[in-house]
A and B are shown apart, each in its own frame.
Chain A
């Protein structure tokens, strides 16, 4: 149980275009989802926290107009990178918190999406 999927697993786009990444909880309802960005050989940087039906909460320094997050249902959150540029190239990982996460506050991670902007 507690499986999170991401789609696509990798994407290449041209500079100036927008890219949408989907994050789905497959066998549970995710009350909260998180979006992370990981640069090569570095740790994960939390970009934003999204709760179903409400606006995402962005971390300091993350441009909310650049990285649009929508959490339309309890099983789906999307991250749209708008007007992508080469510096947006990165590995994007989502995670989800299940109602059963309980005392551990455990998050379940997706496999990641590698974005390359040419």
Chain B
């Protein structure tokens, strides 16, 4: 079946460090891929998205490239800030269904 695998957290970085959060998926067809961010006590906010191979989603300095050959959608940011501390969820939505499948989430903590 379809699934999303994210790297285990928590990830602790110093301010201005480089961030990578790995996400790989298993799906039939051509899923849409998403990264969502959740701040404490809040719902999910869309960070970026991509719908086909080699698409790059980007927003607020975050980037992720849809790699079909490696079935990956890794999240990257060149220089993290304390305000980026949150939980990040990778998700997919497959063709023909509106359901999301979420990864387990990766908690990021950025220290000043």
Residues of A whose CB lies within 8 Å of any CB of B are 6, 32, 34, 41-44, 46, 49, 93, 95, 97, 101, 103-112, 114
Contacts and interface: CB of A to CB of B under 8 A. Distances in A.
A103 B32 contact: yes
Interface in B42-92: 42-46, 49, 51, 89
B104 A111 contact: no
Contacts of B103: 43
B24 to A, nearest CB: 15
A93 B46 contact: no
B18 interface: no
Give the interface size bracket for B toward A. 20 to 34
Contact of A106 (B43, B49, B102, B104): B49
Contact of A32 (B41, B45, B98): B98
A41 B93 CA distance: 22
B34 interface: yes
B45 A104 contact: no
A44 B98 contact: no
Nearest to A97: B98
Given A105-B32, A106-B49, A112 B104 contact: no
A103 B34 CA distance: 13
B42 A105 contact: no
Contact of B51 (A49, A104, A111, A112): A104
Contacts of B49: 104, 106
A114 B46 CA distance: 20
A101 to B, nearest CB: 8
A49 B98 CA distance: 9
A112 B102 CA distance: 17
B55 to A, nearest CB: 10
Given A6-B43, A101-B98, A109-B46, 15 more contacts: A32-B98, A34-B99, A34-B100, A46-B99, A93-B44, A103-B51, A104-B93, A106-B34, A106-B49, A106-B93, A109-B36, A109-B43, A109-B44, A109-B45, A111-B42
